[in-house]
Amino acid sequence: MSAVKRAALDALYAGTDDPWNFRTSKYERQKYDATIATLPASRLRHVLEVGCGNGELARRLAARCDDYTGVDAVDVALEAARRAVPHGNFVQSYLPCDLPEGDYDLLVLSEILYFLDAPGLSSLAVQIDSRWPAATVLCVTWLGPSGNPLEGDEALHLFGAATSRRTRCVRMEATYRIDLFASLTQKEPPCK
């Protein structure tokens, strides 16, 4: 159900905890700023970030919430994320999996969907809908070639088709898009 093998993820981090240059890339900084600008509230209670990587987005999210939980499959990434957000809670897990317990009001899926296949995306959407119906889901999707069986737009479409949530694209750039999926208790995705 994951389109990318765990060994491939580990190989990406061989010799570095920043294989995509998250710390130094102007593009990544701008995308993180745009992501934070689209948060559904100025302050959140508990955020779950699936695929937290080395914690660069986590640092920004943690500054805007009371509790932060990050999930990633790679040890090296999680070690870096723990340094970036010492007060955060981090869980090692390989998707698809049961996500950590918590009373989340926001789930962040940033450039992670295209690492899954169609059944994995469906499983993730159903789990989020059933376990956190009141939460908002924020998806950041890379629009360039992923090198994976699914490209970003296709993975986002499959996730969107599997969830019962209404969605709204809140930012469209040439290389990425940001979408908000409303809680199942709201009619529309939240606006800032």
What is the CATH classification number for the domain harbouring 24? 3.40.50.150
The pLDDT of residue 9 is above 70: no
Q: Tens of pLDDT along 36-60?
A: 999 999 999 999 999 999 999 999 9
Residue 85 placed within a domain: yes
Identify the pLDDT of residue 189. 54
Residue 188 lies in a domain: no
What share of the chain has pLDDT > 90, as a percent?
76
Average pLDDT, the chain: 91
Domain span at residue 36? 6-181
Top-confidence residue, 173 or 74:
173
pTM over 0.75: yes
Question: Which residues pair with residue 90 across a beta bridge?
Answer: 70
Please report the pLDDT score of residue 192 as a whole number.
Answer: 47
pLDDT computed for residue 148 by the predictor: 87
Residue 1 lies in a domain: no
Query: Is 108 within the bounds of a domain?
Result: yes
Query: How many domains does the chain contain in total?
Result: 1
The Cα–Cα gap between 17 and 163 comes to 33
Say if residue 88's pLDDT is above 90.
Answer: yes
Contact 55, 34 (CB under 8 A): no
Residue 116 to residue 188: CA distance in whole angstroms: 27
How many of the other CB atoms lie within 10 Å of CB of 109? 25
